[in-house]
Structure 1
Amino acid sequence: MKRLCIIDDEPGHRLMVRAIMEDAGWDVVEAGSGEDGLRLLREELHAAEPGQRSGVVLLDMRMPGMDGRQTLHALQRLRPELPVVMLTAYGSVDVAVEAMKRGAFDFLTKPADNEELLATLEKAHEYGRLLAESAALARGSTDALAADLEPCRTLVGESPAMREVKELIARAGPSEATILILGESGTGKELIAEALHAASRRAAMPMIKINCAALPEQLLESELFGYKKGAFTGAVKDKPGRFVLADGGTLFLDEIGELPMAVQAKLLRALQERVIEPLGGVKPVPVDVRVLAATNKDLAQAIAEGTFREDLYFRLNILEITAPPLRERLEDVPLLASHLLDKLARKNRRAAPAVSGLFLDALRPYPWPGNVRELENVLERALILASTDMLQPAQLPPRVLEARSPAVSGAGAHMAAVISPALLEEAEREAIVKALDAHRGHRERTAQALGISRRTLQYKISRYGLAKRRDAADNDSLQ
């Protein structure tokens, strides 16, 4: 059955349109504001089968609160394939043109003629149906590739530890579960959260982030839950909190272990009941948010010390993902270095440098207490200090060089200079071979997994004599 969603603040007009469309055999749902309409359509998206969702929206241009323009913009993010017909009591050409430019399917003057209303909505529904069919056909050929690449594209590394993280993201991303991300500073917890959001059904909606350690308690509470006008001195108007801004999407709470106890209680209620109470408010506000949290603290110890609520911990920790420290995946250092140097070269507006085997060799023995963040800082320093297009150990800070073995830093340095590059090249070749095999020879996916450009991968394949390797399935995917 065709389904229409009316978003209009005038109950009498909604009733009239409902009568017309139900007489024509349509199913009709309605909302009295832009906010309520978005919530209704979002609930359809999560709960209903595609055939049971609204196929057309009839949207009033002039409404209090979120007006038609703002609602149209939000609808295009939520369901870009959904046709929207705009309504206004002001039949000016300028308003009509603006609505069409903003992506409206058509435009009607309020109150619309019954036959014109029905004909316009029928055309819009047919257009939406054809658009959905076309999108479904396109998705059929690209979904598998997108699912494989997109969520984890920023997570560089093919070590067993990183493969385990990527597999967890692939399994947990599409769920609605609250996930706790653990790991030392600089290990990439925020990147894991971004990958989880990208792998979810909420990927088209906002991902809002907040660092719980960066704000004092009073300010943190108002940032999370918002406040009403007059809630405190200086609150001259309502302000939505991060929960409301993330409605329909994902809220990432970094450094959750630093959350004050009073705020923990309000967060627990938000997770349990899916409602929040803004400061100075008397009415709970429903929210539809998936929460991801991260910490470098031992929360079990914090619970024992009475600084973290045990019930909140269990609510957050439905699934746990640990970001491995760099010292536990040193085999990823060459790939990370290549990826980070490409990024830093773009940042500093210069060509990506070549890297000597000795330079990479010097990076490996260092334990990297600051993890990937420290590696990035060290590489940026080297890039700035380099006087040639080839990075050498001389550009590394003393603490990194001093971590090398005595044979390298002492009298045996010359022999190490002869042997180490070959060993490192063999390690890099092995990593590329494993990645090619894991992705069945597909160069684009292999480059994404390794965190390097396709051009760099092509060069390394040629350098290491891997050009004749073939995809096991079609014997030709490297071409």
Structure 2
Amino acid sequence: MMEKELGKILIIDDDEDVLFAAKMLLKKYAKEVIIEKNPKKIPFLLNHDTYDVIMLDMNFSRDTTSGKEGFYWLEHIMERDANAVVILITAFGDVEMAVQALKQGATDFVLKPWQNEKLLATLTSASKLRKSYEQVDTLRQTNRQLSADQQDNFGQMIGDSPSMRNVFAIIDKVATTDANVLILGENGTGKELVAREIHNRSMRKNNIFVNVDMGAITETLFESELFGHKKGAYTDAKEDRVGRFEMANKGSLFLDEIGNLSMPLQSKLLTALQRREITRIGTNKSIPVDIRLITATNMPLHEMVHQNTFRQDLLYRINTVEIHLPPLRERQEDIPTLARHFINNYCKKYQKPPISLDDSGLQRMKSYGWPGNIRELQHAIERAIIMCDGEKLSEKDFFFLQQTMHQVQNEPSQPANNFNLDEVEKNVIQKAIDKHNGNISQAAKELGLTRASLYRRLQKYGI
């Protein structure tokens, strides 16, 4: 047997001689051996750590041979951890009772006095069983996450503009490495598609790609979502949970909207990335993780570092390579190709005959600013395909784009006697953004704000 093969073992027995003998034997083969003579401390021990194998005596009170105490604590352990691997310690005359305990969740039993070789063989099998339970749990939750992440985004990158050719060239160079990648770009420019493309071209392509929207994770659930938790770690922790880091082991972890993290959460994330290990809430057990990290944001991280709203050491950690995605208004030559791609896909999705795009429809698209970028283009074409009755999409099928361009100009201006500062500021910001067709840098410059300050106001007013 290789040394330290057994993991962490907890032994509960009221006989100090038994505890001492077991610890002396097993310390050579186990990572850690914890002994306890008082079974009433079991709840405390289970709340503060996890164990690969638990050895449990059947009787604790003097002159008691009924095994009731053993059954009681076995039930208590299994309630707290359905995957617990419990080996019963019993006397020869209690074998029938031990067999009954197996039916109630125990894994095996050993007889006192035990044979060392047989005990080691039993514990080795039990330790392997525990590992298989953990692997099954991880796979089950990973599959659930994969199913939840499946969505019809017509996932492929399209474009032949100079700016997109530059993006493709960077992807070609970085994909086959394990370098951390930071993807920068406005909302709707396809940051997730780039992340998936990097993963699909990497050496990890046969393993999982885990996508996490950091902007949707609350402060209180951050550690649970990313690092996982143990059942009972907090009020709503009704079962063991595998975190996203653990799910992504051997694969790629994509952290979208990383610029939204508060400074305390940035610190926790940095610690996990530096140590390359995580600890589930409610345990002291460190779990090593091997991930390829890809992050993305629409926020100006470099400016945020100067404003002390984003950690410089975290930025260094995540941006070994940066990829800047251009907004759609700066790659208008790609609009015809993108439009045809989405038209074909939505015709298939809605079981419509082939539909083409005429010159007037294409011109309307090229004259529009696309503040929502490719995502807005995709949704506009989906709407047009649903409403279309003919074989061509023309300018009239995209009438709503014109409304979007001028909706703020057509709205009544703020009443002269409205002195609500928030309303006035919101209205001015909206007009600046519309004037510059969604270009945040230009709007911020006209407003006399930094990009970071403007982003905070956009978030504040829900623009």
User: What CA distance in whole angstroms lies between the structure 1 residues aligned with 2:380 and 2:396?
Assistant: 12
Aligned partner (choices 394, 399, 403) of residue 392 of structure 1: 394
Task: Specify the alignment match of 1:64 in structure 2.
Answer: 130
User: What CA distance in whole angstroms lies between the structure 1 residues aligned with 2:222 and 2:376?
Assistant: 28
Report the RMSD for the aligned CA atoms in angstroms.
3.3
Tell me, what secondary structure is at the counterpart of 1:397? helix
**Would the alpha carbon gap of residues 203 and 259 (structure 1) be closer, same or farther in structure 2, given more than 3 Å must change?**
same
AA at the equivalent of 1:162: M
Task: Specify the alignment match of 2:343 in structure 1.
Answer: 341
User: What CA distance in whole angstroms lies between the structure 1 residues aligned with 2:131 and 2:366?
Assistant: 57
CA deviations over 1:321-348 (Å, ceiling 9, x no partner): 0111001110000000001111222222
User: What CA distance in whole angstroms lies between the structure 2 residues aligned with 1:158 and 1:61?
Assistant: 55
CA deviations over 1:76-126 (Å, ceiling 9, x no partner): x9xxxxxxxxxxxxxxxxxxxxxxxxxxxxxxxxxxxxxxxxxxxxxxxxx
**Would the alpha carbon gap of residues 303 and 181 (structure 1) be closer, same or farther in structure 2, given more than 3 Å must change?**
same
User: What CA distance in whole angstroms lies between the structure 2 residues aligned with 1:298 and 1:179?
Assistant: 15
AA at the equivalent of 2:257: E
Would you say the 8 A contact 2:229–2:242 is kept in 1?
yes
> Structure 2 matches for 1:24-423, cutoff 5 A?
63-67=129-133, 70=136, 154-400=156-402
- Alpha-carbon shift at residue 234 of structure 1 (Å): 2.5
Tell me, what secondary structure is at the counterpart of 1:209? strand
Tell me, what secondary structure is at the counterpart of 1:337? helix
Would you say the 8 A contact 1:183–1:296 is kept in 2?
yes
AA at the equivalent of 1:66: S
User: What CA distance in whole angstroms lies between the structure 1 residues aligned with 2:251 and 2:231?
Assistant: 26
- Alpha-carbon shift at residue 306 of structure 1 (Å): 2.6
Would you say the 8 A contact 1:365–1:403 is kept in 2?
no
User: What CA distance in whole angstroms lies between the structure 2 residues aligned with 1:199 and 1:60?
Assistant: 39
Would you say the 8 A contact 1:61–1:69 is kept in 2?
no
Query: Which range is displaced more, 266-275 or 178-187?
Result: 266-275
CA deviations over 1:357-377 (Å, ceiling 9, x no partner): 221122112121110011111
- Alpha-carbon shift at residue 280 of structure 1 (Å): 2.2
Tell me, what secondary structure is at the counterpart of 1:294? strand
User: What CA distance in whole angstroms lies between the structure 2 residues aligned with 1:399 and 1:153?
Assistant: 24
- Alpha-carbon shift at residue 349 of structure 1 (Å): 2.5
**Would the alpha carbon gap of residues 209 and 153 (structure 1) be closer, same or farther in structure 2, given more than 3 Å must change?**
closer
> Structure 2 matches for 1:435-446, cutoff 5 A?
none
Tell me, what secondary structure is at the counterpart of 2:255? strand
User: What CA distance in whole angstroms lies between the structure 1 residues aligned with 2:329 and 2:353?
Assistant: 29
- Alpha-carbon shift at residue 283 of structure 1 (Å): 2.5
- Alpha-carbon shift at residue 69 of structure 1 (Å): 9.2
- Alpha-carbon shift at residue 384 of structure 1 (Å): 1.9
Tell me, what secondary structure is at the counterpart of 1:302? helix
CA deviations over 1:245-290 (Å, ceiling 9, x no partner): 0000001000000112222112112221211122222132110011
- Alpha-carbon shift at residue 403 of structure 1 (Å): 7.0
User: What CA distance in whole angstroms lies between the structure 2 residues aligned with 1:208 and 1:280?
Assistant: 23
Task: Specify the alignment match of 1:98 in structure 2.
Answer: none
- Alpha-carbon shift at residue 307 of structure 1 (Å): 2.2
- Alpha-carbon shift at residue 215 of structure 1 (Å): 1.9
- Alpha-carbon shift at residue 291 of structure 1 (Å): 0.9
AA at the equivalent of 1:174: T
- Alpha-carbon shift at residue 402 of structure 1 (Å): 9.0
User: What CA distance in whole angstroms lies between the structure 2 residues aligned with 1:384 and 1:353?
Assistant: 11
Task: Specify the alignment match of 2:61 in structure 1.
Answer: none
Tell me, what secondary structure is at the counterpart of 2:284? coil
User: What CA distance in whole angstroms lies between the structure 2 residues aligned with 1:385 and 1:325?
Assistant: 27
Tell me, what secondary structure is at the counterpart of 2:242? coil
Query: Which range is displaced more, 155-164 or 228-237?
Result: 228-237
Would you say the 8 A contact 1:268–1:312 is kept in 2?
yes
Query: Which range is displaced more, 248-257 or 357-366?
Result: 357-366
Task: Specify the alignment match of 1:432 in structure 2.
Answer: none
Task: Specify the alignment match of 2:77 in structure 1.
Answer: none
CA deviations over 1:196-221 (Å, ceiling 9, x no partner): 10111000000001101112111122
AA at the equivalent of 2:164: M
Runs of 4+ in structure 1 over 4 Å off: 59-62, 67-71, 401-404
Tell me, what secondary structure is at the counterpart of 2:216? coil
- Alpha-carbon shift at residue 159 of structure 1 (Å): 0.8
- Alpha-carbon shift at residue 227 of structure 1 (Å): 1.2
Would you say the 8 A contact 2:227–2:281 is kept in 1?
yes
Would you say the 8 A contact 2:155–2:193 is kept in 1?
no
**Would the alpha carbon gap of residues 224 and 332 (structure 1) be closer, same or farther in structure 2, given more than 3 Å must change?**
same
Query: Which range is displaced more, 187-196 or 362-371?
Result: 362-371
Would you say the 8 A contact 1:254–1:295 is kept in 2?
yes
User: What CA distance in whole angstroms lies between the structure 2 residues aligned with 1:61 and 1:70?
Assistant: 14
Would you say the 8 A contact 2:224–2:280 is kept in 1?
yes
AA at the equivalent of 2:129: M
**Would the alpha carbon gap of residues 70 and 232 (structure 1) be closer, same or farther in structure 2, given more than 3 Å must change?**
closer
User: Structure 2: 5+ residue runs without aligned partners?
Assistant: 8-51, 54-124, 144-153, 407-463
AA at the equivalent of 2:286: P
User: What CA distance in whole angstroms lies between the structure 1 residues aligned with 2:302 and 2:156?
Assistant: 30
Identical counterparts, % of pairs:
39
Tell me, what secondary structure is at the counterpart of 1:196? helix
**Would the alpha carbon gap of residues 403 and 258 (structure 1) be closer, same or farther in structure 2, given more than 3 Å must change?**
closer
- Alpha-carbon shift at residue 175 of structure 1 (Å): 0.7
Would you say the 8 A contact 1:61–1:68 is kept in 2?
no
Tell me, what secondary structure is at the counterpart of 1:203? coil
- Alpha-carbon shift at residue 64 of structure 1 (Å): 2.1
- Alpha-carbon shift at residue 161 of structure 1 (Å): 0.9
AA at the equivalent of 2:304: A
Aligned length: 278
User: What CA distance in whole angstroms lies between the structure 2 residues aligned with 1:322 and 1:251?
Assistant: 19
CA deviations over 1:120-148 (Å, ceiling 9, x no partner): xxxxxxxxxxxxxxxxxxxxxxxxxxxxx
- Alpha-carbon shift at residue 385 of structure 1 (Å): 2.0
